[in-house]
Chain A
Amino acid sequence: MDDALSAEAEMVHERPGRLREFWFYFRENRGALFGLAIFAVFAFLAVFGPWVAPHDATQQFRGATLQPPVWQDGGTWNHILGTDPLGRDMLSRLIVGARFSFFVGVFVVTIAATGGIIIGLIAGFSPRWVDSIIMRIMDIVLAFPSLLLALVLVAILGPSLTNAMIAIAIVLQPHYVRLTRASVLSERQKDYVTSARVAGAGTLRLMFVTVLPNCLAPIIVQAALSFSTAILDAAALGFLGMGAQPPTPEWGTMLAEAREFILRAWWVVTFPGLAILVTVLAINLMGDGLRDALDPKLKRS
């Protein structure tokens, strides 16, 4: 009893230290901090977008269609980034659109990571033949170019943002399976796992309590990377007409709607794509920082 208590006290003592160490390394990387700042703004807009946006995202100003941004001739402060062909305020649509991309990222990463980690743990702890079967199935999914498989899945499920997210989650999942399995296989050999097993820990406990926490570092980095992949793929599906449907102000869908005006009104094409690029870039910068901070092998390079 006493032992357990002191062990717990030690853990409580250790946790903030680890976090502080992580923050120490993460802070070193200026790009990562910059990415984190942009990501914070993005997350804020995702939650509070409709209250921050100057106009309703679907309100059509019939008298002001295709109005250029404020710094060009004909622009007004009322529509800072101009209006789209239906007279909707670009800035408001972009701000409200943040929540779709954010939601896509959160949903896809949660589903893909949870599923991938569980399947990866099972593969790592199973007898060889189960492991082989699981990994062959993952090979099959990985044989298809991700966007193509997502497209075909959406064709089966029907075009909508939800189905696009499900399709992307399925496509991204094998990466987590491979990553988890690889770390599990190397961790399982180590002495602390053997001693836990000797001490009588069951397989489930070994999987989730003993081994999993030590495999998390690469998975967290992968989560950051697939967050951005998910946003890009969802936007690409929206752009092809297989993701979110108009009038949803999803950035990829906005681009698809704006395509025919590309030579007449540069702003309807430029800003939604810029929003995607900046968001994805910020997340990738953060991902690089996470990798440097979490992976001791790469810390010095």
Chain B
Amino acid sequence: MLNYILGRLLTFIPTFIGVTLISFSFIRALPGDPIQVMAGERGVSEARYAELAAQYGFDQPIYIQFWDYLTGVLQGDLGTSFVTKRPVWDEFFALFPATLELSFFAMLFAVLLGLPAGVIAAVNRGKLFDRALMSTALVGYSMPIFWWALLLIIVFSGNLQWTPVSGRIDLLYYFPNPTGFMIIDSLASGQKGAFASAVRHLVLPTIVLGTIPLAVIARQTRSAMLEVLGEDYIRTARAKGMSPGRINGIHALRNALIPVVTVIGLSVGTLLAGAILTETIFSWPGIGKWMVDSIFRRDYPVVQGGLLLIAVMVMIVNLTVDMLYGVINPKIRKR
């Protein structure tokens, strides 16, 4: 087991260096000289150019530049935004809770609906409910979520006036944000209506971001359940006269959960890609919108740093899922 964990950790290091190399190359791969880009249309004098080049280390050989970048990254130095002049690291962690909150509720939505739906479909295999559910899941899986978001806005914000179109909370409310989770902070603030406002802002983005994971989880749960339901020990349990609810809910579901948990863990990347679109449409101030805005603003240090942080985050989650999977399922460990 220890060998397995160490082995997985060892593959993390080259991947991390590679990811750093990609984010390092990003600024250098852009057309044009980075300092000219930074200076904008006004241009820059010869002396100032040399000064800036020295400041950013562009006058060094490329491998030294990379070494400096790598050591900087390991110390939490990801550069400074061109636009706000704040460290990229600080900006990222100021906005990250918003994305985390949205992703958390999207995943909760997907699991709470997808798991039971998949189980019920598997138990009623081939019946009308199963077919209807699986067709719906396939539609959800094929959904262009940016369009789905617009449709929901037309219906729920436009026609019904139930939900606001953008943001995390009405501008009326202002309170400190110690946890970064608007839902918790609005409740803690004790202001009347703040919590309701936060919830109403959260509903549509949650549904939009949760749709594809919901479809994936429902499909995965169904197929995992079908596989388990065909096993001998289920037949034994049935022969013993155990109630169907107990068989399906406890014996089968527990074993079917293993692949489902993996899918949930591995959809973090999908979730972040979805957050780019969802946050942009709903003006949700998280890292997805931050990345898109920075690309449009040509705020390259932010794009570079954000790219790296997001990739490292995905890698850490995947690594954790891999290891947990190794703990749950001993077959995986040796290979």
A89 and B18 CA atoms in complex are apart in Å by 48
B142 on the A face (CB < 8 A): yes
Are B291 and A140 interface neighbours, CB within 8 A? no
Q: Which residues of B contact A156 (CB under 8 A)?
A: 26, 29-31
Stretch at the interface among B144-152, B175-183, B234-242: B144-152
- Bitwise, A234-248 to B at CB < 8 A (1) or not (0) is 011001111000000
B142, B144, B292, B307 — which one has the most chain A CB atoms within 10 A of its CB?
B144
Within 8 A of A (CB), among B310-333: 310-312, 314-315, 318
Question: Shortest Cβ distance from B32 into chain A, in angstroms?
Answer: 11
Q: Is the interface of B mostly helix, strand, loop or mixed?
A: helix
Known: A136-B11, A240-B280, A285-B138. A255 touches B146 (CB 8 A): yes
A173 and B292 CA atoms in complex are apart in Å by 24
Are B15 and A235 interface neighbours, CB within 8 A? no
Q: Which residues of B contact A241 (CB under 8 A)?
A: 296
- Bitwise, B288-309 to A at CB < 8 A (1) or not (0) is 0001100110000001000100
Q: Which residues of A contact B154 (CB under 8 A)?
A: 262-263, 266, 269-270
Question: Shortest Cβ distance from B268 into chain A, in angstroms?
Answer: 9
| Interface size bracket, A side | 35 or more
Are A277 and B276 interface neighbours, CB within 8 A? no
A288 and B219 CA atoms in complex are apart in Å by 12
Are A280 and B307 interface neighbours, CB within 8 A? no
User: B277 contacts which of A144, A147, A149 (Cβ < 8 Å)?
Assistant: A147
Known: A136-B11, A136-B18. A259 touches B142 (CB 8 A): no
User: A148 contacts which of B11, B139, B144, B276 (Cβ < 8 Å)?
Assistant: B276
* B146: nearest chain-A partner, CB-CB: A239
A158 on the B face (CB < 8 A): yes
Within 8 A of B (CB), among A148-201: 148-149, 151-152, 155-156, 158
A9 on the B face (CB < 8 A): no
Are B15 and A140 interface neighbours, CB within 8 A? yes
Q: Which residues of A contact B277 (CB under 8 A)?
A: 147, 236, 239-240
Known: A144-B310, A145-B272, A151-B292. A273 touches B150 (CB 8 A): yes
A301 on the B face (CB < 8 A): yes
Are B295 and A152 interface neighbours, CB within 8 A? yes
A94 and B252 CA atoms in complex are apart in Å by 47
Are A277 and B26 interface neighbours, CB within 8 A? no
A139 on the B face (CB < 8 A): yes
A-B contact count (CB 8 A): 129
Question: Shortest Cβ distance from A47 into chain B, in angstroms?
Answer: 23
Q: Which residues of B contact A277 (CB under 8 A)?
A: 139, 142-144, 147
Are B19 and A284 interface neighbours, CB within 8 A? no
User: B295 contacts which of A139, A151, A263 (Cβ < 8 Å)?
Assistant: A151
Are A148 and B226 interface neighbours, CB within 8 A? no
A136 and B30 CA atoms in complex are apart in Å by 25
Question: Shortest Cβ distance from A55 into chain B, in angstroms?
Answer: 24
* A140: nearest chain-B partner, CB-CB: B18
26 A-B pairs in the complex with CB atoms less than 8 angstroms apart = A31-B135, A136-B14, A140-B19, A142-B269, A143-B311, A143-B312, A143-B318, A144-B19, A144-B310, A148-B307, A151-B291, A155-B30, A155-B295, A156-B26, A158-B31, A228-B142, A232-B144, A235-B146, A240-B280, A263-B154, A263-B157, A266-B154, A269-B154, A272-B147, A273-B144, A273-B146
Residues of A within 8 A of B (CB): 31, 136-137, 139-140, 142-149, 151-152, 155-156, 158, 228, 232, 235-236, 239-242, 252, 255, 259, 262-263, 266, 269-270, 272-274, 276-277, 280-281, 284-285, 288, 301
Lowest 7 CB-CB distances: which A-B pairs, in order? A273-B147, A140-B18, A145-B273, A147-B273, A280-B142, A281-B142, A143-B311
